[in-house]
């Protein structure tokens, strides 16, 4: 097998896991662009296009266990909240190898919200290579989680013929927003009385498709592959926490906070850890 991964690595990431992770992994969450900025050409960042964000508190609380700096393409940006200004680190796109997935419903003040999380390994794009940064938690809520599942599944299918039997968990998936114009998708509520506009996450699709040489660039390398196997092993209790929760209540009776979209949330079968 040309890709040099530790013996048994493919099998090790094929099972599932979860609670508090025993290693530092900041939450990297999906943030929709603001449709009010759709025509503002001077804005080229997440505020207009959508993308990924990290709360500074996440980095501060784990700084002793994280690399000294975020990748260079992360920007520190202020946003206006309901009551005050707050700060996020933001970037339109990331390179992340998704390792395992969990999904659950949460109820707050009578309203339910679905949350999708992937434990993943973040990479840094440098010239024609992607260098390892460290583990993170990719997070998206409601129908954004459906988009994330679909795009990770798409990456798996688009690259299958070039991975030579190695699981997609050992390759950095380019996930974010692409192109010169923001993609705005409107979803109507189930009752048709309201709608929401989002900027969905997308996996990068090269104009000529994925190739063996591109997959060589996205391969995490043997050392990081071994680390991914250990991350997968240590994540078992963290994953099980939400999987066990779903066995008790698979679908909420309460309305969802963001019930927009023509497609229903997918039924996730506990035990596989991935949507493909």
Weakest mean pLDDT among 164-168, 228-232, 269-273:
269-273
Per DSSP bridges, beta strands 129-141 and 27-31 are parallel
**Within-domain flag for 17:** no
Between 274 and 160, where is the model more confident? 160
pTM here is: 0.84
DSSP codes, 46-81 = HHHH-EEEE-HHHHHHHGGGS-SS--TT-EEEEEE-
CB of 54 closer than 8 Å to CB of 28: yes
**Within-domain flag for 129:** yes
Mean pLDDT, residues 198-223: 96
- Domain of 126, in residue numbers: 24-221
Quote the CA–CA distance of 104 and 90 in Å, as a whole number.
25
Cα atoms found within 13 Å of the Cα of residue 180, Cβ hemisphere only: 1
The confidence band for 186, taking pLDDT boundaries of 50, 70 and 90, is: confident
Residue 141 has pLDDT above 50, yes or no: yes
Mean pLDDT, residues 249-270: 39
Weakest mean pLDDT among 49-53, 75-79, 178-182, 265-269:
265-269
pLDDT at residue 191, rounded to an integer = 56
CB of 46 closer than 8 Å to CB of 90: yes
* Greatest extent of the chain over all pairs of C-alpha atoms, in Å: 56
**Within-domain flag for 57:** yes
**Within-domain flag for 46:** yes
229 burial (CB, 10 Å; 0-12 / 13-18 / 19+) is: buried
Quote the CA–CA distance of 62 and 69 in Å, as a whole number.
12
**Within-domain flag for 259:** no
To the nearest 10 degrees (0 to 180), the angle between helices 236-248 and 222-234 is 40
Angle at alpha carbon of residue 113, lines to 112 and 116, rounded to 5°: 150
DSSP codes, 190-217 = TTSS-EEEE---EE---TT---HHHHHH
Q: Over the chain, what is the mean pLDDT?
A: 83
Number of domains, the chain: 1
**Within-domain flag for 119:** yes
**Within-domain flag for 79:** yes
The confidence band for 246, taking pLDDT boundaries of 50, 70 and 90, is: low
**Within-domain flag for 183:** yes
Quote the CA–CA distance of 199 and 43 in Å, as a whole number.
15
Per-residue pLDDT reduced to its tens digit, 95-118: 999 999 999 887 766 777 889 999
Q: Which residues contact 62 (CB under 8 A, 6 or more apart)?
A: 24, 25, 26
Please state whether 218 falls in left (phi above 0), alpha (psi between -120 and 50) or beta: alpha
159 burial (CB, 10 Å; 0-12 / 13-18 / 19+) is: buried
Residue 10 has pLDDT above 70, yes or no: no
The confidence band for 243, taking pLDDT boundaries of 50, 70 and 90, is: confident
Count of CB atoms within 10 A of residue 36's CB? 9
Weakest mean pLDDT among 31-45, 74-88, 258-272:
258-272
Per-residue pLDDT reduced to its tens digit, 149-159: 999 999 999 99
pLDDT at residue 140, rounded to an integer = 95
The confidence band for 9, taking pLDDT boundaries of 50, 70 and 90, is: low
């Amino acid at each position: 097998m040309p890709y040099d991964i530790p013996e048994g690595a493919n099998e090790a990431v094929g099972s599932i896991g979860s609670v508090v992770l025993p290693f530092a992994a900041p939450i990297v969450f999906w943030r929709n662009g603001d449709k009010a900025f759709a025509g503002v050409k001077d804005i080229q960042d997440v505020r207009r296009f959508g993308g990924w964000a990290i709360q500074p508190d996440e980095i501060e609380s784990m700084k002793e266990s994280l690399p000294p700096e975020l990748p260079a393409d992360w920007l520190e940006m202020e946003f206006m909240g309901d009551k005050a200004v707050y700060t996020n680190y933001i970037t339109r796109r990331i390179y992340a190898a998704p390792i395992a997935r969990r999904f659950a419903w949460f109820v707050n003040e009578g309203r339910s919200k679905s949350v999708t999380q992937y434990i993943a390994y973040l990479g840094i794009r440098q010239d024609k290579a992607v260098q390892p940064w460290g583990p993170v938690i990719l997070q998206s809520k409601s129908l954004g989680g459906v988009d994330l599942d679909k795009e990770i599944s798409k990456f798996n299918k688009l690259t299958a013929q070039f991975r030579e039997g190695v699981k997609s968990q050992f390759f950095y998936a380019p996930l974010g927003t692409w192109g010169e114009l923001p993609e705005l998708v409107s979803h109507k509520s189930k009752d048709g009385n309201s709608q929401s506009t989002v900027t969905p996450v997308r996996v990068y699709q090269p104009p000529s498709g994925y190739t063996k040489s591109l997959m060589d660039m996205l391969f995490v390398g043997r050392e990081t592959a071994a680390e991914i196997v250990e991350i997968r092993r240590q994540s078992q209790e963290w994953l099980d926490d939400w999987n066990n929760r779903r066995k008790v209540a698979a679908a909420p009776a309460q309305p969802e906070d963001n019930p927009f979209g023509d497609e229903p949330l997918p039924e996730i079968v506990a035990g596989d850890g991935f949507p493909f």
